[in-house]
Amino acid sequence: MTERRQIRELPDELISQIAAGEVVERPASVVRELVDNALDAGARQIVLRLLAGGVRLIAVEDDGIGIPVADLPLALKRHATSKIGNLQELESVATMGFRGEALAAINSVSDMAIASRTAEQPHAMLLDGRTGEMKPIARAVGTTVEVKELFFSTPARRKFLKTDATELAHCIEAVRRHALARPDVGFAIWHEGKLVEQWRAATDGDDGGMDQRLADVLGEEFCERSVRVDWCSSAQSEGGGPLIRVRGRAGIPDAARARGDHQFAYVNGRFVRDKVLAHGARSAYEDVLHGQRQPVYALYVDMDPTRVDVNVHPTKIEVRFRDSREVHQAVRRAVDQALAAPRAALAQPAPQAPLPGVAAPAPVPMPAWRQPAMAFAEPVAAPAAGFTPWSPAPVPAVAEPMPRWQEAADSAVATLPEPPPAALARAEAPVPQPRATPAPDEAPAWPLGRALAQLQGIYILAENQQGLVVVDMHAAHERIVYERLKAQADDAAMASQPLLIPATFAATPTELAAAEAHADTLAQLGLDVAPFSARTLAVRAVPASLAQGDAVALARSVLAELAQHEASGVVERARNELLATMACHGAVRANRRLTLEEMNGLLRQMEATERSDQCNHGRPTWRQISVRELDQLFLRGR
Ligand SMILES: Nc1ncnc2c1ncn2[C@@H]1O[C@H](COP(=O)(O)OP(=O)(O)O)[C@@H](O)[C@H]1O
Ligand SMILES: [Mg+2]
């Protein structure tokens, strides 16, 4: 029989050790907590010293405000904190810490000492965490926390630790997460007496040093292969600022990785692992990144602290949003907007003088990271317009008046000869004169340059200021048609064009069923596909912008797609997939001879089309081969 034991209150030490199980998993957890504390104390410079991957020693030294002598013993007490005093403060907490648990927990599973000095004190005091003894020592204003022999008293925990190298890597990762949120603070990490990482404080630029810090921590390549994100919700918070602001950088689809190890998301300066944020970001890549590839990004969400609960998880790595849909949409829109603009324009060398009619974007003031509450009160410039890829200004000077580039693009594409006529033609497009190809000495300022030739019936070769541009013409055109179809479908039901003679075809039972079940969806897509006989379907109308394609092939692909997405709710969500299928039918096929005008028309359309850097399947549509790369190929200038 089980022997009944008396109910007793656990001793404090044991309570702390139990709590430590939640907070302190490995040396990196200690690093995270100590750096949190240093940042909360207003440190500008934080130095870490580690021995044996942090197992033998973790020392974190800061130049923050310090701990007054009288408070020093309290710092090690459970639930003792200087950061909140009541429930209301908990609800709008703006510091990293607030639970008052970390130091007590760490102290219960290690050999700990704190040296600290405030500006008012003539010298520092050293507190021995074991004995509680204090003695004066020499130290500048700030705090050093030393944690020795982690888990020495709990050998079972110590056995779970990995090699020193692995623990060190986790410690560095913990600091990286902090460093990415606080470019204004300098960090240095020493291991076994060697400097292993150092990130200098950076506050320059219109972004408060963020790009510099991202480049320092994640590498230059991260910045080169990502685009700036800066988005504000139009809804206002009670304080008058935007409800949500999303900033940072989002990797271009090309920079995606097999693993999601370069995904950093922050809420009010706190690193979080959050499904809402991750899903919002990933869904912005839906249309440009297919398959299992993981995008890279560093995203900073600033929002009213009362709209997010950070007291969900002992390590505060999880949060709960008051309205998670609102946050999901904000992140999705922010990233989507950043990715949409065609990037050829961004790669252009900066023009000498501002182009007429092109206003330089106003610098967006960067609120202090560590004071999200204040950041909210600050006025924030209007978010950059969603789509300003290349304004009409940079048309090269030519003798004869030239149509604006958009018209030029339309006109050239509209004149593509048959066959296959397909959807290069826009039904509503005017039929103007194709303009002459600019002479070489005009040095066209178009991002994707001037078409030179077609290669193997697949690629368009063009020349721009950087060198050679190679375009996959089907992939590029497919995206253009797709984006156009999406825009049309967004406006209303798509304009439909009846066929003079309905096109009939022998249909499978699946096709017959799909045509019947999804007549409404088909109508919305501009398709009229109706039973003609027991085993025959007739295509009576097709979307106007695809009027010249193969109606039967188009109808069959769409029916096949519909059959896959049975339930109507799913069909609604699959709209973009349906449009993508249609776009493929509308896009120019390989081996189709294009004239230079047509090629130039396609290039101009690419420059004006959102997401045109990737085809509908997430592959790149064009590549730049710079003159320098060509020179290297030919060993020139060596
Ligand atoms: N580096 C530091 N500089 C100044 N004060 C510190 C530092 N580290 C800890 N403290 C003080 O010790 C208290 C307890 O720290 P901690 O156990 O991490 O709890 P919390 O951070 O949740 O308040 C803090 O509230 C703070 O007042
Ligand atoms: Mg803390």
Q: Atom 24 in ligand 1: which residue has the minimum CA distance?
A: 81
Closest CA to 93 of 245, 268, 244, 233: 268
Distance 68 CA to ligand 1 centre (A): 11
Q: In this structure, are strands 194-199 and 186-191 parallel, antiparallel, or unpaired?
A: antiparallel
The tokens describing 91, both together, are 């609800």
Q: Considering only 42-56, 82-96, 421-435, 618-632, which range has the smallest mean pLDDT?
A: 421-435
Q: Which ligand is nearest to the CA of 41?
A: 1
Structural element, H or E, at residue 156? helix 155-159
In the chain, % of residues over pLDDT 90: 54
| Ligand 2 mean position, distance from CA 81 (Å) | 8
Identify the residue whose tokens are 């050679």: 468
Residue 415 has pLDDT above 50, yes or no: no
Closest to 56 measured CA to CA, from 161, 156, 195:
161
**Residue closest by Cα to atom 11 of ligand 1:** 75
Q: How confident is the model at residue 78 (pLDDT cuts 50, 70, 90)?
A: confident
**Residue 348: per-residue pLDDT:** 53
Q: What is the 3-state secondary structure (H, E, C) of 357-415?
A: CCCCCCCCCCCCCCCHHHHHHCCCCCCCCCCCCCCCCCCCCCCCCCCCHHHHHHHHHHC
pLDDT top residue among 362 and 86? 86
For ligand 1, pick from 24, 81, 315, 370 the residue to mutate: most ligand atoms within 8 Å of CB.
Answer: 81
Q: Checking phi first, is residue 509 left (phi over 0); if not, alpha (psi -120 to 50) or beta? A: alpha
Q: Are 544 and 526 in contact (CB under 8 A)?
A: yes
**134 or 437, higher pLDDT:** 134
Output phi, psi for 387, to 5 deg.
Answer: -145, 90
CA of 377 to the centre of ligand 2 (A): 26
CA of 52 from ligand 1 middle (Å) equals: 25
Q: What is the pLDDT of residues 343-386, one digit of tens each?
A: 887 665 433 333 333 333 333 333 333 233 322 223 333 333 33
The token pair that represents 106 in the structure block: 């760490």
Residue 62 CA, closest ligand 1 atom number: 1
Task: Give the distance from CA 500 to its chain's centroid.
Answer: 48
Query: Which residues have any ligand 1 atom within 6 Å of their CB?
Result: 33, 37-38, 41, 62, 64-67, 75, 81-83, 97-104, 143
Answer with the residue of higher pLDDT: 246 or 243: 246
User: For 275-298, what is each residue's pLDDT tens digit?
Assistant: 999 999 999 998 898 778 899 999
Q: How confident is the model at residue 441 (pLDDT cuts 50, 70, 90)?
A: low
When the pLDDT of each residue in the chain is averaged and rounded to a whole number, the result is: 82
Q: Is residue 414 predicted with pLDDT exceeding 90?
A: no
336 phi/psi in degrees, rounded to 5: -60, -45
Distance, CA of 355 to chain centre: 30
Check whether 398 has a pLDDT greater than 80: no
Q: How confident is the model at residue 1 (pLDDT cuts 50, 70, 90)?
A: low
Provide the strand spans (E) within 102-193.
111-117, 124-128, 134-137, 142-148, 186-191
Cis peptide before 420 (omega within 30 of 0): yes
> What pLDDT score was predicted for residue 117?
97
Distance CA 145, CA 58 (A): 8
Q: Which atom of ligand 1 is nearest to the CA of 95?
A: 21
CA neighbor of 22 nearest in space, from 105, 84, 111: 105
Average pLDDT for 25-33: 94
73 alpha carbon, closest ligand: 1
Centroid of ligand 1 to alpha carbon of 358 (angstroms):
50
Among 31, 40, 90, say which to mutate for ligand 1: greatest number of ligand atoms within 8 Å of CB: 40
Nearest partner of 419 among 544, 541, 548, judged by Cα:
548
Kindly report, residue by residue over 208-238, the tens digit of the pLDDT. 899 999 999 999 999 999 999 999 988 887 7
Residue 602 CA to ligand 1 center (angstroms) comes to 61
Select from 399, 452, 476 the least CA-distant residue to 600.
Answer: 452
Is 487 strand, coil or helix?
A: helix
d(CA 480, CA 462): 18
Answer yes or no: is pLDDT of 472 > 90: yes
Ligand 2: centre distance to CA 104 (Å): 10
CA of 56 to the centre of ligand 2 (A): 21
For the segment 540-596, what is each residue's pLDDT rounded down to a tens digit? 999 988 888 889 999 999 998 888 776 445 555 678 888 988 898 888 888 889 999
Residue with CA nearest ligand 1 atom 19: 100
Distance CA 317, CA 323 (A): 18
pLDDT at 127 over 70: yes
- Who has greater pLDDT, 134 or 16? 134
Residue among 16, 31, 37, 93 whose CB has most ligand 1 atoms within 8 A, to mutate? 37
CA of 37 to the centre of ligand 1 (A): 5
Give the model's pLDDT for residue 292.
83
- Ligand that lies nearest to the alpha carbon of residue 143, given by its number in the listed order: 1
Nearest CA to ligand 1 atom 4: 66
349 or 147: whose pLDDT is higher? 147
Query: Which string of DSSP letters, residue by residue, matches 281-346?
Result: HHHHTTTT--TT-B--EEEEEEE-GGGEE-TTSTTS---EESSHHHHHHHHHHHHHHHHHS-STTT
Cβ atoms within 10 A of the Cβ of 305, count?
Answer: 18
**Which residues have C-beta within 8 Å of that of residue 220, sequence separation ≥ 6?**
none
Amino acid at 610: E
Q: Whose CA is nearest to atom 25 of ligand 1?
A: 81
Query: Which backbone phi and psi does 550 adopt, to 5 degrees?
Result: -85, 105
Mean pLDDT is highest, among 399-403, 436-440, 598-602, for 598-602
CA of 158 to the centre of ligand 1 (A): 25
Residue 584 dihedral angles phi and psi, to the nearest 5°: -60, -40
Q: In ligand 1, which atom is closest to the CA atom of 103?
A: 17
Q: How far lies 88's CA from each of 314, 358, 372, 377, in Å? A: 19, 48, 16, 19
Hey, what amino acid is at 317? Answer: I
* Predicted pLDDT of residue 389: 28
Taking the CA of 145 as reference, the closest ligand is 1
Take residue 434 and report the two structure tokens written for it: 């194709």
User: What's the rounded mean pLDDT across residues 123-130?
Assistant: 95
Query: Does the pLDDT of residue 141 top 80, yes or no?
Result: yes
Give the per-residue pLDDT at 155: 83
